[in-house]
Amino acid sequence: AVGELPEKSKQQEIYQELTRLKAAVGELPEKSKQQEIYQELTQLKAAVGMVWTRVLLPRSL
41 pLDDT more than 80: yes
DSSP 40: H
CA neighbor of 11 nearest in space, from 55, 60, 59? 55
Domains of the chain: total: 1
Is residue 24 assigned to a domain? yes
| Percent of the chain topping pLDDT 90 | 0
Is residue 38 assigned to a domain? yes
Per-residue pLDDT reduced to its tens digit, 5-28: 566 677 788 888 888 887 877 776
**Is 28 contained in some domain?**
yes
* Cα–Cα distance list, 4 to 15, 23, 24, 39, 60 (Å): 16, 25, 25, 22, 18
Question: Which range marks the domain in which residue 43 is found?
Answer: 16-60
Report the predicted TM-score, pTM, of the whole model to 2 decimal places: 0.40
